[in-house]
Homo-oligomer: A and B are copies of this chain.
Amino acid sequence: MFQSRLCTRTSRESPKDEVAMNAQLLERAGFVQKAMAGVYSYLPLGRKVLDAVENIVREEMVAVNGQEIFLPALHPKEHWLATGRWDGFDALFKITSRHDFEYALGPTHEEMLVPTMKKYIQSYKDLPFSVFQIQTKFRDEARAKSGLLRGREFRMKDMYSFHASSESLDEYYERVTYAYKNVFRRLGLTAYLTEASGGTFSKYSHEFQVPIETGEDTIFYCSGCDYAVNSEISEQGICTKCGGKGMETKASEVGNIFKLNTKYSDPFDLTFTDESGEKHRVIMGCYGIGTSRLVGTIVEAHHDSDGIKWPEAVAPYAVHLLALSGGEIRTKADALYSELRARGISVLFDEREDVSIGEKLKDSDLIGLPHRIIVSEKSLVNGGYEYKKRAESTSVVLPQQELLNLFGQHS
């Protein structure tokens, strides 16, 4: 992609109405733009990151046999009345149609999914299975000041599993836990599996918490093992699992998993017939991952004072290629751009002619692609290119073939 053609531009100044670092950097670099408190537009660079995050999540859900679906955002009022959440869910957006209908604007999808699946579940032979979707959710949040960490409109992957027994749910819950660990590892995040209160669902649930300074939650994690607990259920000076020292940190909840049991199959009378012909309520689990929150969390976890440092797996482009002026340098840069693309490497090519060297370097730090290659006068003299990883502070000069070999390993 030619940077001159990108429909956004960077900004040196932080938006005045943003306090969260993730929003400041993402807006300055042109990844997103705030439409209102808690509502963001994803511009080309931001959409690529969101897509990359969602594709990793999708792959891991498919790996645990999740079947992808896509449910409406408009929900019938009757389903929310059935669970008592029409009045009981504070952040529910309600819509009145001019044709005298009332809708809920989906903040979560149990009320939509369970009546939908009822049509297809009859026998124990239809169980277990799980379905998931990646979708926009809407919540009328009181405060929305954390950039992409808490939105009124946000993106989420929600998966729901259906079982004939608690044992089947337990087994699947373990498999999803493992899949979630894969997701966060692939995204370059350290996520603690954290015991938390189950809210209205059950006594306990599990959250996946990523330690960041600006997180909305506080967790105690063990310095000796991988156990963590949300401060909402206990403080932990000494780990109850291994006796290790408990450490306190702010954290961002990027995923959660719940054993719903029959909480939603009860109000919708979702049943199956067992081998002896007896009817039982279906046992359910639910599994959320906030994909837009993940984008914000990745930025909170991977940045410095100059800008973002994207992990390879979610970077909008792998390489930032900078041509430091026109003429022969541009010709050489064009050739390198072609070589890299021919190898399937995604490149943002800063070929802008009216922008100074200093500005290009600042933009490159701000946008934060993993690899930077500079084509300068030095390249013409000694045939080498200045190469630097965004996450490292030093650069090296490499001849073209050595540089290409380097990327051969990444693509």
Chain A residues within 8 Å of B, Cβ to Cβ:
4-9, 30, 33, 35-36, 39-44, 46-47, 50, 65, 67-76, 90, 93-95, 97-99, 101, 103, 105, 112, 116-117, 119-120, 125-126, 129, 131, 136, 138, 140, 142, 152-153, 354
6 residue pairs from A and B, CB less than 8 Å apart:
A7-B117, A35-B112, A41-B71, A50-B70, A74-B153, A95-B105
Q: How many copies are assembled?
A: 2
Contact between chains at A136 and B69 (CB < 8 Å)? no
Known pairs A73-B136, A74-B36, A117-B7; A41 contacts B112 (CB<8 A): yes
| Of B68, B70, B101, B354, the contact of A36 (CB 8 Å cutoff) | B101
Known pairs A35-B76, A73-B73, A74-B36; A120 contacts B8 (CB<8 A): yes
Q: Sort A-B residue pairs by CB-CB distance and give the 9 closest, nearest first.
A: A42-B70, A44-B67, A39-B72, A7-B129, A47-B70, A74-B153, A41-B71, A97-B140, A39-B74
Q: In the complex, what residues of B have CB within 8 A of residue A68's CB?
A: 44, 47
In Å, the complex CA distance between A35 and B6 comes to 40
Known pairs A8-B120, A129-B5; A43 contacts B69 (CB<8 A): yes
Q: Would you give the shortest CB distance from A36 to chain B, in whole angstroms? A: 5
Contact between chains at B40 and A72 (CB < 8 Å)? yes
Contact between chains at A72 and B131 (CB < 8 Å)? no
Further contacts, 7 of them, CB under 8 A, given A43-B116, A90-B98:
A7-B67, A7-B129, A35-B71, A35-B76, A36-B76, A44-B69, A47-B70
Contact between chains at A131 and B44 (CB < 8 Å)? yes
| Of B46, B90, B99, B153, the contact of A142 (CB 8 Å cutoff) | B99
Q: Would you give the shortest CB distance from A168 to chain B, in whole angstroms? A: 14
Q: In the complex, what residues of B have CB within 8 A of residue A47's CB?
A: 68-70
Contact between chains at B105 and A72 (CB < 8 Å)? no
Q: Would you give the shortest CB distance from A186 to chain B, in whole angstroms? A: 22
Contact between chains at B43 and A7 (CB < 8 Å)? no
Contact between chains at B119 and A33 (CB < 8 Å)? yes
In Å, the complex CA distance between A110 and B78 comes to 33
In Å, the complex CA distance between A317 and B158 comes to 24
Known pairs A35-B116, A116-B33; A153 contacts B73 (CB<8 A): yes
Chain B residue at minimal CB-CB distance from A40 = B72
Chain B residue at minimal CB-CB distance from A353 = B125
Known pairs A74-B39, A112-B41, A153-B72; A131 contacts B67 (CB<8 A): no
Chain B residue at minimal CB-CB distance from A7 = B129
Chain B residue at minimal CB-CB distance from A79 = B35
Q: Would you give the shortest CB distance from A140 to chain B, in whole angstroms? A: 5
In Å, the complex CA distance between A36 and B119 comes to 15
Contact between chains at A5 and B65 (CB < 8 Å)? yes
In Å, the complex CA distance between A41 and B116 comes to 8
Contact between chains at B41 and A69 (CB < 8 Å)? yes
In Å, the complex CA distance between A381 and B65 comes to 36
Chain B residue at minimal CB-CB distance from A48 = B68
In Å, the complex CA distance between A129 and B1 comes to 13
Chain B residue at minimal CB-CB distance from A109 = B41
In Å, the complex CA distance between A70 and B47 comes to 6
Q: Would you give the shortest CB distance from A291 to chain B, in whole angstroms? A: 12
In Å, the complex CA distance between A142 and B97 comes to 10
In Å, the complex CA distance between A159 and B125 comes to 46
Q: Would you give the shortest CB distance from A37 to chain B, in whole angstroms? A: 8
Q: In the complex, what residues of B have CB within 8 A of residue A41's CB?
A: 69-72, 112, 116
| Of B4, B50, B72, B126, the contact of A35 (CB 8 Å cutoff) | B72
Q: Would you give the shortest CB distance from A250 to chain B, in whole angstroms? A: 25
In Å, the complex CA distance between A93 and B138 comes to 15
A42, A50, A76, A90: most-surrounded residue (chain B CB, <10 A): A42
In Å, the complex CA distance between A46 and B69 comes to 8
Q: Would you give the shortest CB distance from A53 to chain B, in whole angstroms? A: 12
In Å, the complex CA distance between A119 and B35 comes to 12
